[in-house]
Structure formats: structure tokens, C-alpha cells
Amino acid sequence: MNAEKSDLTDQVALITGGAGAIGRAIGEGLVKVGAKVVLVDIDEIRLMQFQQELAAKYGAESVLPVVADVRDVRQVKHAFELTLREFGQLDILVNNAAVTQVKSVDALSDEDIDLVIDTNLKGYVLCVREAVRIMKESRTKGSLLFISSKNGLVGASDKSLYCATKGGELTLARALAKELGKLGIRVNTICPDAVLEGSSLWADDDYRLGTAKRHGISEEELPDYYKERSALKTNIQPQDVANAALFLVSNQAAKITGAIITVDGGVAFVR
């Protein structure tokens, strides 16, 4: 379901993980309907390439790329300062940046633990804090959107820490929906299943091979594995997540907050 152009024209959205597969799809979707987007990502090369693609299609004035690590409070603050300096407002935050590993809990290093928790939880909180401060000051009835995961709803072997942080995102979103509702700020979450297309995560050899090993299949069989386990017998594409995202941040969802939408083709969590 796509937002009408009038819903989001001239809205300003900041998207973390803006150069990743889901971030790119949401960013382009918003620009298409007349919004302005701030793309925040740690990967400068990928970020600038995407910014150039969007600028060529829609004009450079609608896109602001910002290289930043969501774990770093100074870099997060700077990203939001640049947003206000460039566009003068903030209406939408899409918390999307995330990392994971495929490791048994006893194999996790201290660095692994810090990376996953600081990116997937601390990073979400840092960005929400800045967004809410801006929205409160400007009395903006904005929208906060969290991109969680099916693993926020159910555990998975050798991904315990990732599952815990994704579950934490869901609880954080629902708590914020209660806290911010009186201000007219909505908070919703999307839980996708495996988005393989264009994903830097799935391009990582260790993660891809580790996932295949965990399921007892070859890496070539991964797309069919995820397709066959869904009720609709389909793979999830970045655009599928973007369609849900544009709905949730649009006026069509004006009375929806605290919601969790699964974009997974109907995965059977309990077998």
C-alpha cells in the first residue's frame, strides 16, 4: 500500500542504515512521493553511490547523505544537526541500521557483544532521543519507525544476541508509543523475514555460509529455503518492506501506533 503524494510531500525523514537494501528502498520510496531524506550510514562509498543515483533521478536537493556511526553519540547529534541545518525540520525517523553474527553464545567475544548491542539498541535509543527532542521543541506530530526482524518475535539458534536486541527494539517501540502518544508522535515497527536482495549482510561470506550451515543446506539453497518456509511461498524484497514503511509513516496510518507489522510472507514460527 503506497502513500498518496500529498501525505508526505515536503516531509523530512532521517533513515539510519540508509545505504543498505531496506534503507535504500525506503529512502527512494519517500523521495518519489515528494519527501526529503537524510541518509545516514557508516559505509561512505555505498552511501555516496546511492546519493548520486537518487540525485540523478530526482534531483540533489531532496537527499542529504551523512556518514555516521549510530553507536557514537557525537556523530548521531551531528547527523540531526545537519538535518535541521539543511531542511529546517524533522518529521520521520526510520531506525534501520543493524548488525548481527551467526555464533553460539559461548563463542561471542566482548567486541561482538558491544557491536551488536550498541548498534541495535543503543543506536536506536540515541537516534530516538535526538528525534524526540526536535519534535517536542517544534511540536511536530511525527512518526518513528523501527525496522526490527522476525527474530525479534522468535529466537534462533546461534543468533541469541541478535534476537535479544531485536526483541528489545519491539519493547522499546511499544513503550515509546505509550510515552509519546500524548504528543501525537506515533511509533511503529516492521519485522521482515530474510531480505536477501541487495543486502550487504547477506553478501558477507561468514554470515551467509554460517546461516546455510545452521539450516543444513548449501548457500545456493538459501533463497528457496526462505521461500518454501513461508505460507505465501515467496521471498521478501526490499520494496516489500518499503511499501509497509511508507504506509506506516503516512496519514493513512494516522491512528496506528505501537503496531508490529510482519513482512515475511507468512512464516510459521511454531512447527
Residue 40 region by backbone torsions, left for phi larger than 0, else alpha for psi between -120 and 50, else beta: beta
Q: List, by residue number, the catalytic residues.
A: 162
Three-class SS state of 145 = strand
**The one-letter amino acid at 9:** T
For the chain, what is the total number of helices (H) and then of strands (E)?
Answer: 11, 7
C-alpha cell of residue 13:
525523514
DSSP H helical segments within 140-204, as ranges?
160-180, 200-203
- Can you list the pairs that 61-64 forms with residues at least 24 positions away whose Cβ atoms lie under 8 Å? 61/36, 62/31, 62/35, 62/36, 62/37, 63/27, 63/31, 63/36, 63/37, 63/39, 64/36, 64/37, 64/38, 64/39
CA end-to-end distance (rounded Å), the chain:
30
Rounded-to-integer distance, Cα 200 and Cα 203, Å: 5
